[in-house]
Structure 1
Amino acid sequence: MFRSLKTLWKKWRASRNAGHQLDALLALADADAPYAERSEWLIELAHWIHRRGHLDSAEGGTSRAAAAGAPPHRAPPEHARVRYLLHVLERNPAWKDNVGAMLRKLLRESDGISLLCDAGMPVHSGLLGALVGRLQALMIPPAPNRRDLAALVTLMFPATHDPEWIATLPPDLLARLRALIAGADAAASPGQGLGPHPGEFSLDLLTALHNLTCQISSTGLSPTVRSRLSSDDAHVAVERLPFYRLTRAMLAVENARDTGDAARLLPEVTWLRLLLDDCRKATDDVFAHLYRNGVRVDTVFQVERMRMRIVRAERLLDAWMAAGDAPMQARLVADLVEANQQSQSIAHLLRSNFALLSRKVVELSADTGEHYIARDRAEYLTMLRMAAGGGLVTAVTVYVKFGITGAHLPSMIEGVFAGINYALSFLVMHFCHLSLATKQPAMTAPTLARELDGATEAPGRARFASTVVALMRTQAAAVAGNVLLVFPACLAVQLLCGWVFHANLISPFKAHATLQSFSLAGPTPFYAALTGVLLWLSSLVAGWADNWFVLHRVEDALAWNRRLRMTLGVAGAARLAHFCRTNAAGVWGNIVLGMMLGVVPALVSAITFHFEVRHVTLSAGSIGVALGVLGADTLRSGELWWAVAGVASMAVLNVAVSFALALQMALRSRDLRRKDVQPLMRVVWRRIVRRPIDLVWPMRKGQTATEAESSH
């Protein structure tokens, strides 16, 4: 017997005819076989349904599809195969009874709670642990002998389009599938409308719902969540929290169901829905508290998982109450399949973690980013003055840099000293309220993210376009202010030194080498783009520092420190705490940026390829020094103008790369996809085309972007 089954199995696999494959597979169905063999049979049936191409072509004609009553409109090929499968079973009652018995037995013997409760729910709070777990699952798929419905679904529906075709199954196919699974009991239970019939799937739904409500209540009443539902001014009693009353509401629903009291069931279910909605609102309050007072990864993980469980509980409750609604049941199954796929997808894990990281970085620094955007003429002129001051400071930085490189130190030591030089220069700019060009786009991701909150409507898109245009305009002002001051300042210092001391601050050979290194024809654009990445990374560090400072309430610790209050007084300690809170992000961001600009090129050059920093302000100052050394004859050489073109490319690439990365982080923090971004980009482009003057000169104060749009 076993040998004959094995031979038939080989013949089925060797057959290329879809109809013959199905006939052979249905003939192998055995409701009395061991669990593993029945699971493997169902997996093979699912693979037959997944087979690409139309069933007509597989059959070499249209007779069977026509006989099966295939709809004339275009539908997923899986629908045609399911329809053909049901048609074959209806023509063979013995096969139909056997397959129905197999399905009922599999569902009865499998653990459905794993699919209903746990599918799609994250297990690890850390990225590394989750990544290792998913890699293991990818390399070692579950075995068919596991009595786990989630494992069976994983093996049956591996394709990403499976949820779509399952959710769109026609009502007639859903009714026939339900009759197949229910068997002889199909006529007993379409449902009363007030609640589901007492079937096994209904009991699984209720059990899963009970499990979810207990988990939601446990997480919501934990100190991590409960402490963030109260403020410093008011304390919320535990018995008033929806998480505390949720399990009681669930028990009331179960008691009403057990007693069969339909009149009592509806009010209890309504009360449970209201509590779930209150729990969802409470999670929003927790997130608002986190983003206002600092983000901790494990806390966000717990609250995000609790929110997912609330959504799942609502879906299960809807499916439990609408037992006769087959399309709703199909959508539930499709959601579970999709959630199960996402829980095993490495790409989904990376996307979700990057979105969380983005939101963590951008939420606390919106005010910092706002300082880098000039929205009216007064702010625009202020930015020009700040940039001009930054150019003067950078002139000193350029000469110190030439002094460090002229010492011919080992590359790593030279990189450390160069980083200290840059960091000190950036800190001087920060505390003197000056500006450095190209650093601004990386710091404006928080502001862009805040503008994206209303970007689904026309006024929100107009505000976003206005912010982007203002950012471009401000950046142009910053670049102009830096370059127009650093270049003549560096040139003037060299000319003055040559006139007074009859000496050059750098050698003519070094001046020629500097101009040649900035040439547009060389690797300058590539280096400028990498420098833009470093500028963006510094904004991540600034956001992390701001989050750390707020999360650990360092400002309160300093303001209430006993020694500081005794030494500086109460007001002095408060001023010191506020000063540290205001400047924590800026100080750390500038220090890290300076050290990266100095050390990273040395590290990259030692490990992989040669890399040099190409920053527009520093390079413009270096050209000024080289021009002062080489004299006016250099103006007639192509070497100078190729270097000028290279500096122009630095201005574009420094800004474009850091802005693109900042925008991508802002989009990820709001979980926006390409289809959501395209309307925003069209609005920005229309704004630029209609008012190109806005890129170089702002509108009058009080004239909004919406007014500008409506005036054209």
Structure 2
Amino acid sequence: MAAASRDLQGLLAGLDPTADVAQRHIWLINLFDWLRGDRASPQAAIGRVQLLLDAVEARPELCERLRAWWRAFTQSVDLTALLADYGFAPRTAFLSEFGERMRRKILPGTPETTDASDLFRLVLPGVFDAGWIALLDDTQLARIGALLADAAPMPDGSARWRHTVMDAVTYCCSQVVATGFSPELRLRISPEAGEARPFHALMADLDALREQMFALPRDEESLQAAFVAFRDRLDACRSSASSVYTHLEDNGISVGLVFRLRQLRERVLRIRELLDCLMSPVPGPSMARLVGKLVLAGGERNSIRALIASNSSMLAAKVTERSAETGEHYITRDRRSYLQMVKKAAGGGAFTALTVLAKFGIYALALSAFWSGLAAGLMYAASFVAIQLLHLTLATKQPAMTAPAMAARLRDIKSDDAVDQFVDEVANLVRSQVAAVLGNVLLVVPAVGLLVLGWQAALGRPLLDAAHAASTLHSLSLLGPTVLFAAITGILLFSSSIIAGWTENAFVLHRLDSAMRYNPRIGAFLGAARARRWAAFMRTHISGFASNISLGLMLGLLPAFAGFFGLGLDVRHVTLSAGQIAAAAASMGLPALHQPALWWAVAAIPVIGALNVSVSFYFAFRLALRAHSVSLGDRARIRSAIWARWRSRPVSFFLPT
């Protein structure tokens, strides 16, 4: 923008009420750009506002020209829609709103518009504007109101802006009532709130308020009574909608429904802000606060991050809560449970030996990258599900499940005793992970070795020839990209826990266990008793199935998809990697002990295990902390307590006491 356009005198000279819509709006954009200046400070913007007011008030013809411009502006632009709808999603579905925000970020806006919301976004685009608007004092607000005052009031003697604001209240109330009457909300409202029927009477109370607002002569006592009745009814609507959250906590979270509820809550708050402007004897400060909040709402409205954060918090809480229910089973707190964990992990390691052989068998088929990855993924999924059904343990799947169980204990962490108890749980968790990893690795290695030797004895040739064995050891070497691949695998482990929590939430939300139990067709096909057993079985195992199947497919398909884009990424799972090293070493025989590649691969195993566990636990724990709103101060206290325990009793992190 040219420097001359920022000059106040040049701006005022360009004020033309008869200009077309685009030119009038460009002038308004330039004016606010001049008010912001270099955005060094809000106080500087306030100083420019003072200069503008002084310059306009000093010239009566300029005052009249400004009022004429304002009349032309308000006649061509619908301010009611701005006051009622700005900052709200035009669609109630989460995905459609996501697409709308993406469109606004990508496509530029135009000042040639009669949509006040689009124009407002161009005139007041940032948080800085909300800052300097909040600093306007009562005198400046009164002067602005006098400059923009309409000399021709409405037939009832009231100012036109009051009718505009009341129309905005009406639009907002209609949206609140429509949301309250929607089947998704109506069927989930508590019985007590449903019997009160607040949404049914809201519009009638609004009509009574409007009648008293513009009555001639005005009866202040009747107006206040109508205002109180409407405000109480509005609060009842909000309380009624809030009762839906209890239903969601017990029956699963719907992101779309949470989005509707939060839109309704924000509508109620907007109605209150509009009513403050109408009921205040000095409306200027209320108007300024409203404009400032509209600026902030516009920033939120354009933010994809804010959309995802605000609408995923409850789902994150529910996902982590359901993972916490599963994760409790993976934490050992005494010697007996510790030994049980070792036994289950040993069984899981022994079973994984079969998985390792199956993986080499799939590679021997020499399929294309995609089909080889899909076959490996399905094989992994079947293997992990079998481990689940046999009640064995795969170590690296634990952290993403146990992290929410840990974070669930942070809901009340204010006292020192609570922090100490949490540190005890951290020690229990680390000890459990060590036991599980050791149990897996120490059994998968000899089990794979025995299977390879049995293969060689039966067929007279090793499982892997020398070239493939050497290639396997080289690919798993600590000197290569193993560290990166192990961290990526940790992310996949975390992702599988999210999929598991989301799947179980959807299973509960859509009442699929009830459908399996009582659906007539399912009952006729399975029989009533078997349908009940299947429903209970799926309710118990659905999370594990989702986690295991998704993890298996991701482990198999990630290398294929990465290879398609030329990224060369792979996965490194500690138990599978240990089994592959054992298979390569057993195929090479005793000479493998003299190969440096073997020992570099062996050295990678603890690193792979540590990264698998720590990365998946880190992301899951961060998500759980966010879901439970643990403050930064409490997080610092927890870190200090954990380090203190490590310095004083390090053995407690590895062996039960």
TM-score (norm 2): 0.86
Alpha-carbon distance in structure 1 between the residues aligned to 2:45 and 2:428: 51
Deviation at 1:121, TM superposition (A): 1.0
2:372 to 386, 392, 414: 414
Aligned to 1:546: 504
Q: Specify the SS of the correspondent of 2:473.
A: helix
Change (3 A) 1:255 1:648: same
Q: Is the 8 A contact 1:476 1:696 kept in 2?
A: no
Cα deviations by residue, 1:335-391 (Å, 9 ceiling, x for unpaired): 112212332344544555665764574465442244344466655554333323222
Aligned to 2:240: 282
Change (3 A) 1:690 1:622: same
User: 2:90 aligned with 1:130, yes or no?
Assistant: no
Deviation at 1:497, TM superposition (A): 6.7
Q: Where do 1:268-667 residues align within 5 Å? A: 268-324=226-282, 326-349=284-307, 351-352=309-310, 358=316, 361-362=319-320, 364-374=322-332, 379-444=337-402, 447=405, 450=408, 471-494=429-452, 504-562=462-520, 570-631=528-589, 634-635=592-593, 637-666=595-624
Alpha-carbon distance in structure 2 between the residues aligned to 1:34 and 1:503: 88
What count of residue pairs does the alignment treat as equivalent? 651
Q: Is the 8 A contact 1:239 1:245 kept in 2?
A: no
1:254 to 196, 210, 225: 210
Deviation at 1:615, TM superposition (A): 0.3
Q: Where do 1:218-233 residues align within 5 Å? A: 218-230=178-190
Change (3 A) 1:46 1:374: farther
Deviation at 1:655, TM superposition (A): 2.5
Q: Is the 8 A contact 2:427 2:653 kept in 1?
A: no
Alpha-carbon distance in structure 2 between the residues aligned to 1:41 and 1:532: 55
Alpha-carbon distance in structure 2 between the residues aligned to 1:425 and 1:643: 24
Q: Where do 1:29-68 residues align within 5 Å? A: 29-31=15-17, 33-52=19-38
Change (3 A) 1:430 1:210: same
Q: Specify the SS of the correspondent of 2:203.
A: helix
Q: Specify the SS of the correspondent of 1:371.
A: helix
Deviation at 1:26, TM superposition (A): 1.4
Alpha-carbon distance in structure 1 between the residues aligned to 2:355 and 2:509: 35
Deviation at 1:473, TM superposition (A): 4.5
User: 2:116 aligned with 1:149, yes or no?
Assistant: yes
User: 2:4 aligned with 1:15, yes or no?
Assistant: yes
1:166 to 133, 156, 160: 133
Q: Which amino acid aligns with 2:469?
A: A
Q: Is the 8 A contact 1:473 1:694 kept in 2?
A: no
Q: Is the 8 A contact 1:294 1:547 kept in 2?
A: yes
Alpha-carbon distance in structure 2 between the residues aligned to 1:449 and 1:202: 51
Alpha-carbon distance in structure 2 between the residues aligned to 1:245 and 1:700: 65
Change (3 A) 1:696 1:552: farther
Cα deviations by residue, 1:225-249 (Å, 9 ceiling, x for unpaired): 111115xxxx558552322232233
Q: Which amino acid aligns with 1:78?
A: A
Alpha-carbon distance in structure 2 between the residues aligned to 1:656 and 1:544: 22
Q: Specify the SS of the correspondent of 2:395.
A: coil
User: 2:17 aligned with 1:28, yes or no?
Assistant: no
Instruction: Compare 650-659 and 495-504 and name the one that shifted more.
Output: 495-504
Deviation at 1:630, TM superposition (A): 4.1
User: 2:163 aligned with 1:203, yes or no?
Assistant: yes
Q: Specify the SS of the correspondent of 1:697.
A: helix
Q: Is the 8 A contact 2:477 2:604 kept in 1?
A: yes
2:633 to 679, 683, 686: 679
Q: Specify the SS of the correspondent of 2:56.
A: helix
Alpha-carbon distance in structure 1 between the residues aligned to 2:63 and 2:172: 36
Deviation at 1:216, TM superposition (A): 0.9
Q: Is the 8 A contact 1:455 1:461 kept in 2?
A: yes
Q: Is the 8 A contact 1:355 1:665 kept in 2?
A: no
Q: Where do 1:236-251 residues align within 5 Å? A: 238=194, 240-251=196-207
Aligned to 1:78: 45
Alpha-carbon distance in structure 2 between the residues aligned to 1:275 and 1:456: 38
% same residue: 38
Alpha-carbon distance in structure 1 between the residues aligned to 2:117 and 2:407: 37
Deviation at 1:152, TM superposition (A): 2.5
Instruction: Compare 331-340 and 235-244 and name the one that shifted more.
Output: 235-244
Cα deviations by residue, 1:648-691 (Å, 9 ceiling, x for unpaired): 22223222332343345446657x6xxx7643542332122111
Q: Which amino acid aligns with 1:485?
A: L
Change (3 A) 1:282 1:487: farther
Deviation at 1:496, TM superposition (A): 6.8
Alpha-carbon distance in structure 2 between the residues aligned to 1:291 and 1:105: 52
Change (3 A) 1:405 1:664: same
Q: What are structure 2's unaligned runs of at least 5 residues? A: none
User: 2:62 aligned with 1:95, yes or no?
Assistant: yes
Q: Is the 8 A contact 1:36 1:144 kept in 2?
A: yes
Q: Specify the SS of the correspondent of 1:161.
A: helix
Q: Specify the SS of the correspondent of 1:642.
A: helix
Q: Which amino acid aligns with 2:260?
A: Q
Alpha-carbon distance in structure 2 between the residues aligned to 1:280 and 1:327: 26
1:177 to 144, 149, 162: 144
Q: Is the 8 A contact 2:90 2:97 kept in 1?
A: yes
Deviation at 1:78, TM superposition (A): 2.0
Alpha-carbon distance in structure 1 between the residues aligned to 2:269 and 2:413: 25
Alpha-carbon distance in structure 2 between the residues aligned to 1:486 and 1:38: 76
Q: Is the 8 A contact 1:49 1:82 kept in 2?
A: yes
Instruction: Compare 165-174 and 463-472 and name the one that shifted more.
Output: 463-472
Instruction: Compare 658-667 and 610-619 and name the one that shifted more.
Output: 658-667
Instruction: Compare 519-528 and 271-280 and name the one that shifted more.
Output: 271-280
Q: Specify the SS of the correspondent of 2:87.
A: coil
TM-score (norm 1): 0.80
Q: What are structure 1's unaligned runs of at least 5 residues? A: 1-11, 55-73, 187-196, 704-712
Aligned to 1:106: 73
Instruction: Compare 574-583 and 508-517 and name the one that shifted more.
Output: 508-517
Q: Specify the SS of the correspondent of 1:435.
A: coil
Question: CA RMSD of the aligned region, Å?
Answer: 3.8
Alpha-carbon distance in structure 2 between the residues aligned to 1:460 and 1:247: 50
Q: Which amino acid aligns with 1:605?
A: G
Change (3 A) 1:439 1:254: same
Deviation at 1:144, TM superposition (A): 3.3
Deviation at 1:104, TM superposition (A): 5.5
Q: Is the 8 A contact 1:437 1:478 kept in 2?
A: yes
Alpha-carbon distance in structure 2 between the residues aligned to 1:455 and 1:88: 59
Q: Specify the SS of the correspondent of 2:184.
A: helix
Q: Is the 8 A contact 1:294 1:364 kept in 2?
A: no
Cα deviations by residue, 1:385-426 (Å, 9 ceiling, x for unpaired): 332322222122223323333444444443333223312221
Q: Specify the SS of the correspondent of 2:243.
A: helix
Change (3 A) 1:208 1:622: same
Alpha-carbon distance in structure 2 between the residues aligned to 1:425 and 1:668: 33
Q: Which amino acid aligns with 1:247?
A: M
Change (3 A) 1:320 1:657: farther
